Amino acid sequence: MGRRPPGLRRRGLKRAAAEAAQGGVPQGLPPGAPSPRAAHRAIAFEGVTIEFGGTGQALFRAVEGADLAVAEGEFVAIVGPTGCGKSTLLNAAAGLLTPAAGQVRIFGAPLAGLNRDAGYLFQLEALMPWKTALENVAIGLEIAGTPKRAARDRARDWLRRVGLAPFADRYPHMLSGGQRKRVAMAQVLIRDPRIVLMDEPFGPLDAQTRLIMGDLLLRLWQENRKAVLFVTHDLEEAISLADRVVIMSAGPAARIIGDFPIGLARPRDISEIKLMPEFQALHRDIWHLLKSEVLKAYPDLTMRETP
């Protein structure tokens, strides 16, 4: 399976050639205005470089020249070695970080400040321990001005959709890890964000619970197909969930070095799809690129072949 250049959208060769000939922006638009084509990109990283430090400290370049587009309704997973800047890119898409160079566009418009179109599901769920599951799910709507009763009604529906209707009145410490993750997922999705950012949301869970959560995520996503940018260290998880798997190099100055389309049919059953020859072929091709980058993160270790 060959790799497409970073950020390349799925489109026919004739259409791509026509757009390239037009320079990508139709004549007559004012400078800086999004083209109709760009408006279909939910997220676009355009030459994004992110640095940390300054004010007497040496600058650390975490990400360099990242070009990546996520279309409306597309599920894109980012995989790379530990410390390569995957979460850094996610934070830039959320508006929590400002690039040192390049820009982030959201639905064609330059991102300035927090991304109000995005919901963010962190690795550690942001549940308030003094509130019940129902109250935690409803709080975002209540803060936004939804009347309390209406917010609670919608929260109950979301708890039902994630299989937690009987646990609405339980506090976070009374729930299992998988149950807390489902509350956190409902907490994000109840606001109906146009973009969902996910930073290793299932990382702390055991293998069986991760499978269940992955299937739940796909089922909910299939209902309305938000644009999803999903960060994970788990290549199998990325292939199981995504429409595309993007590979980042080892840091510092990490770059996007691979972009693989995942042509596996939907809907998917994660436990079953991993047994398919097509899945195994994709895994082999992507790991061939990823392996050398992963090893760079562990310079004192070598992978020896089994005799």
pLDDT at 39 over 60: no
Quote the CA–CA distance of 68 and 246 in Å, as a whole number.
Answer: 9
Q: Residue 81 corresponds to which tokens in the numbers above?
A: 């070695």
Residues 232-264 pLDDT 10s: 999 999 999 999 999 999 989 999 999 999 999
pLDDT value at position 83?
A: 87
Structural domain contains residue 87: yes
The secondary structure of residue 141, as a DSSP letter, is H
Give the CA diameter of the chain.
66
Q: Residue 44 corresponds to which tokens in the numbers above?
A: 């676009």
| Cβ neighbours for 180, distance < 8 A, ≥ 6 positions apart | 125, 127, 172
pLDDT at 13 over 80: no
- Under the banding of pLDDT at 50, 70 and 90, the label for residue 57 is confident
Mean of per-residue pLDDT scores for the chain: 86
Please give the C-alpha separations between residue 85 and each of 49, 63, 69, 80, in angstroms, as whole numbers.
11, 6, 17, 8
What would the mean pLDDT of 95-117 be, rounded to a whole number?
95
Structural domain contains residue 97: yes
Structural domain contains residue 57: yes
CATH of the domain at 267: 3.40.50
Taking each helix axis from N to C terminus, what angle separates 148-161 and 177-189, rounded to the nearest 10 degrees? 130
Question: Between 122 and 96, where is the model more confident?
Answer: 96
pLDDT value at position 301?
A: 65
pLDDT value at position 59?
A: 86
| Cβ neighbours for 152, distance < 8 A, ≥ 6 positions apart | 134, 138
Structural domain contains residue 248: yes
Q: Residue 144 corresponds to which tokens in the numbers above?
A: 């936004």
Quote the CA–CA distance of 208 and 269 in Å, as a whole number.
Answer: 13
Structural domain contains residue 256: yes
pLDDT value at position 131?
A: 96
Q: Residue 198 corresponds to which tokens in the numbers above?
A: 């996910």
DSSP 139-201: HHHHHTT--HHHHHHHHHHHHHHTT-GGGTT--GGGS-HHHHHHHHHHHHHTT--SEEEEEST
Residues 168-217 pLDDT 10s: 999 999 999 999 999 999 999 999 999 999 999 998 788 899 999 999 99
What would the mean pLDDT of 44-60 be, rounded to a whole number?
87
- Residue carrying the six token digits 């509350």: 183
Structural domain contains residue 54: yes
Residues 286-300 pLDDT 10s: 999 999 999 887 777
- Under the banding of pLDDT at 50, 70 and 90, the label for residue 80 is very high
Write out the residue range of the structural domain in which residue 291 sits: 39-117+244-298
Residue 53 dihedral angles phi and psi, to the nearest 5°: 110, -150
- What is the value of pTM for the model shown? 0.83
Structural domain contains residue 1: no
Give the H/E segment covering residue 123.
none
Structural domain contains residue 289: yes
- Specify the number of domains making up the chain: 1
Using DSSP, state whether 243 is helix, strand or coil: coil
